A and B are shown apart, each in its own frame.
Chain A
Amino acid sequence: MSALFTFLWGFAMGVILLSLVGGFTAGFILVERKVSARMQMRIGPVHTGPHGLLQTVADMIKLMMKEDVRPARADRVAFNLGPLLTAVPAVMSFVVLPLGAGVVARDLNVGVLYFLAVPSISVVGLVMAGWASYDNYSFLGGLRAAAQFISYEIPRTLSVVGVVVVAGTLSTVRIMEVQTIPYAVLLPVGFVVYLITSVAELNRGPFDIPEAESEIVAGFHTEYSGLRWSLFFMAEYGGMFAASAFATVLFLGGGAGPLLPGFAWFWLKTLALVFVLMWVRWTLPRFRADQLMALAWKGLLPAALINLGLAFVVLFLVR
């Protein structure tokens, strides 16, 4: 019976995480609209529900009712699989995230590596979608996504390695426990590199060249509509929350903080980081492809290596 129980428990966890990501997507899209509106001296959606709160709900219904459009010359299997391969790893990355004190789907002893490795499947989905659409803009978007991902993966991983060196563990829960001083204070360079590279891996502005609307229409998701299109958005907004929560765990001490309970602190820090990601997107102009590569290889990679060196100094001082 225990085997059946294991299976059902896993299934229930999957459903919970999937609903969580769906909810985040709906919520964050509304918040993003409001934030971007305020930054551009507009007021954003107001008509659907009080203060426009039901706008994304209406949008979701609209997306579900849309006709299923597929280009005639598209590669059918790859076109259908692309969005799924992008969204599923984004949901899977939530498995190791400790959402508050002790609330974690599974505390893997290699949790940090899991969080870095599993979302890297997403980019295969993006490239697949771009290629399968049989469209020049989609194709260019897919190529750009692949190039950007490969470049930013390296400084991102190196910035996290610094934290692992100081913490001495790869478990996300243990890192939160051993973190008496937030690592953002001890390793400020690593924190900044992690945040910048996370924005790049999510393909959000100013690193949104894979979907730059002024150059290549909408990049890899040009030909997508309806539910498949919304899967890309689920991956982006789910990934945005996951990256922020992971930064809270690694660099901001997780649920540590005075007065308020750990749960509240964790969510406050995470949502603040989500706001920072939106703020950056609506403030900075888009990078050019060559600037993007120069930043990754000439700026962030050396910075991440310096951070790694600093981590050893910190380790030496602490012990």
Chain B
Amino acid sequence: MSIPAPADILFWFFAAAAVGGAAYAVTSAHLIRSILAFGAFLTAVAGEYYLLAAEFVALVQIFVYVGGVLVLMLFALMLSTPGESQPSSLGRWSPAVGVTAVGVGAAIMIAAWHTPLPVVKEPAAGRLDHLGQALLGDHVVVFELVGVLLFAAVVTALVAVRGERR
């Protein structure tokens, strides 16, 4: 037996943290703890991206999800009382929701398992310019459409807030 490479140890560490965090996030009845576990999951996934030599994606994951989405979620849920736990509001729909979730998850796993993924010998690390050119070249229409969508969302949010005041 050879000593496992640090990358392998880290891979399994991040994988365990991601699965554990995700499992805790959906099973905990405690909202804030569940969000913090979600944060652990997001960070662990960022670690996996880094191990795949996708440093840029890893950092964007941390920047957008941990620094943005997670903080926003915490901000909103901090307005709930600590220790407050609520039963699931799904009620009689919960079996249907469970079946759908398991079905979609299984479908994704089967699809991923059967898709022949190209093995890249040399990771394209350091080729950020390729990403930029792809976004503003081949996929420029989609890129701009996403921008329009986000802009519409911001304007809608503003209108909704203004509307309440009157």
Report if A and B associate in a common complex: yes
24 A–B contact pairs at CB < 8 A? A6-B6, A75-B82, A109-B125, A110-B59, A113-B63, A114-B55, A116-B63, A117-B62, A117-B67, A120-B62, A120-B67, A120-B71, A121-B67, A123-B67, A124-B36, A124-B66, A127-B78, A128-B36, A131-B78, A132-B82, A142-B78, A146-B71, A146-B75, A153-B67
Report B-chain residues with C-beta under 8 Å of the C-beta of A69.
none
Among B3, B63, B70, B126, the one with the most A-chain Cβ atoms within 10 Å of its Cβ is B63
Partner of B59, one of A4, A10, A114: A114
CA distance A114 to B82 in the complex (A): 33
A312 adjacent to chain B (CB < 8 Å): no
Within A107-164, which residues are at the interface with B (CB < 8 Å)? Answer: 108-110, 113-114, 116-118, 120-121, 123-124, 127-128, 130-132, 134, 139, 142-143, 146-147, 149-150, 153
A264 adjacent to chain B (CB < 8 Å): no
CA distance A117 to B125 in the complex (A): 18
Report A-chain residues with C-beta under 8 Å of the C-beta of B15.
none
Within A77-131, which residues are at the interface with B (CB < 8 Å)? Answer: 77-78, 108-110, 113-114, 116-118, 120-121, 123-124, 127-128, 130-131
Q: In the complex, how many angstroms separate the beta carbon of B72 from the nearest chain A beta carbon?
A: 7
- Per-residue CB contact flags for chain B residues 33-74 toward chain A (1 = under 8 Å, else 0) read 100100100010000000000011001101100111011101
B128 adjacent to chain A (CB < 8 Å): yes
Given A117-B62, A170-B128, is A150 in contact with B68 using a C-beta cutoff of 8 Å? yes
B32 adjacent to chain A (CB < 8 Å): yes
Report A-chain residues with C-beta under 8 Å of the C-beta of B6.
3, 6-7, 10
Query: Does A146 lie within 8 Å of B74, measured CB to CB?
Result: yes
Query: Does B62 lie within 8 Å of A121, measured CB to CB?
Result: yes
Partner of B75, one of A108, A116, A120, A150: A150
CA distance A114 to B55 in the complex (A): 9
Q: By the criterion of a CB under 8 Å from any partner CB, how many residues of chain A are at the interface?
A: 35
Query: Does A134 lie within 8 Å of B82, measured CB to CB?
Result: yes
Query: Does B55 lie within 8 Å of A110, measured CB to CB?
Result: yes
Report A-chain residues with C-beta under 8 Å of the C-beta of B3.
3-4
Q: Which residues of A contact B (CB under 8 A)?
A: 3-4, 6-7, 10, 75, 77-78, 108-110, 113-114, 116-118, 120-121, 123-124, 127-128, 130-132, 134, 139, 142-143, 146-147, 149-150, 153, 170
CA distance A280 to B59 in the complex (A): 31
Given A120-B67, A146-B78, is A131 in contact with B32 using a C-beta cutoff of 8 Å? yes
Q: In the complex, how many angstroms separate the beta carbon of B85 from the nearest chain A beta carbon?
A: 13
Q: In the complex, how many angstroms separate the beta carbon of B108 from the nearest chain A beta carbon?
A: 27
Among B5, B39, B71, the one with the most A-chain Cβ atoms within 10 Å of its Cβ is B71
Report B-chain residues with C-beta under 8 Å of the C-beta of A130.
78
- Per-residue CB contact flags for chain B residues 121-134 toward chain A (1 = under 8 Å, else 0) read 00001101000000
CA distance A207 to B25 in the complex (A): 33
CA distance A131 to B82 in the complex (A): 8
Report B-chain residues with C-beta under 8 Å of the C-beta of A116.
63
CA distance A131 to B66 in the complex (A): 17
CA distance A3 to B82 in the complex (A): 45
Q: In the complex, how many angstroms separate the beta carbon of A287 from the nearest chain B beta carbon?
A: 19
Given A4-B3, A121-B62, is A109 in contact with B55 using a C-beta cutoff of 8 Å? yes
Q: In the complex, how many angstroms separate the beta carbon of B3 from the nearest chain A beta carbon?
A: 6
3 residue pairs, one from A and one from B, having the closest CB atoms: A120-B67, A117-B63, A146-B75
CA distance A149 to B72 in the complex (A): 10
Task: Beyond A109-B126, A114-B59, A153-B67, list 14 extra A-B contacts (CB 8 Å).
Answer: A6-B6, A75-B32, A108-B55, A109-B128, A120-B63, A120-B71, A123-B71, A124-B39, A124-B66, A142-B78, A143-B75, A146-B71, A146-B78, A150-B75
